[in-house]
Amino acid sequence: MTLHPEVAAYRAVRAAAGTPPLYTQTLAEARAADLAAIRAGGGPVEPVTEVRDERIPGPAGELPLRVYRPSGPGPLPTVLYFFGGGWTLGSIDTADGICRRLANAVPCQVITVGYRLAPEHPFPAAVHDCHAATSWIARHADRLGVDPTRLAVGGDSAGGNLAAAVTLLSRTDGPPLAAQLLIYPNTDQSGDPVGDDDPALFNRHSVAWYRRHYLSDPGHARDPLASPLLADDLSGLPPALVITAELDPLRAEGQRYAERLRDAGVPTRLAHYPGMIHGFFAMPGTFTDGRRAQEGAAAFLRERFGLSAGPEAAQVDEPAVTGPAVADG
């Protein structure tokens, strides 16, 4: 596997600076460093017509929401976006750049959910927070200007894991979902983490560190809400776009999940980015492929929401794509 030139340059800067891996820091240090790194690599902050904070009831108290609304009348198609951070780091601020760009590029309303973090609140607290928020928003669609027939979920890394888990719960308990956007998702926590030991990049030690915080009982790794790949049946789930990166220790499990979705009859597209690393999607200011992946995600959502593609969408270059194009379903 060969590092993309932009990844090689990024790695060299981190190595030269002696940037400590997050898994060697205290929780407070890691949480601050994670947000700082995402902001540094996120590029310019895009203005959105309206950005506001809300609070809604959750399973164990109020949950914060941030609502990003582009211009346009009436109820809007909406994506609930769950931030990444290994269920341990992150906040609604972590996903701010992604949410702004998706809101403008689709265009659609984007809502991010401040779910509870581990180790203070281990599995399954985050799953239940995210599903509760999804259900509450669907029930209160009028209040938030949501078109409940065009409601999707998405997220990166741990957020992709949570989005996949929410689709499993929503299949039986509602609400109906139009799409799922899974960006280098964790899908199987039952085996030993894979990958190399490069301390300058997200590696197998990173994966293990997050798991230890999230799964207070190692046996929970077999629960499909922690490891969606282990679900017996993936049929009836919403159409999916799964994004993977070649140098990501989560690559294989993301690709296997896409394959299982497709085998279960779920319209699924797998977009794979050679030479890229975990986290690239959140860093379009550092990685050209981060911008391309965000544009591809917006095009997928636009298609699922039945929106016409603008001239900018028509110019988006596709990455290496595995599997059929997303079909109606």
**Nearest-CA neighbor of 281 among 43, 153, 98, 106?**
98
Paired tokens of 275: 């030479």
Q: Is there a contact between 76 and 301 (Cβ–Cβ < 8 Å)?
A: no
Phi-psi region of 174 (alpha: psi -120 to 50; beta: other; left: phi over 0): left
CA distance 300 to 68: 19
CA distance 300 to 316: 12
Q: Is 248 a catalytic residue?
A: yes
Residue 147's contacts (CB-CB under 8 Å, 6 or more residues apart) are 74, 75, 76, 77, 78, 141
- Per the DSSP assignment, residues forming a β-bridge with 152 are 79, 179
Q: H helices of 194-329, where?
A: 204-214, 251-263, 288-304, 311-314
CA distance 249 to 245: 9
Active-site position among 129, 131, 157, 205: 157
For 134-178, give the DSSP string.
Answer: HHHHHHTHHHHTEEEEEEEEEEETHHHHHHHHHHHHHHHH----S
Active-site position among 34, 188, 248, 289: 248
The helix/strand/coil state of 5 is helix
Neighbours of 35 (CB within 10 A): 17
* Residue 304, Cβ density class (10 Å: 0-12 exposed, 13-18 middle, ≥19 buried): buried
> Residues, the chain, total?
329
Active-site position among 156, 188, 278, 289: 278
Which active-site residues does the annotation give? 157, 248, 278
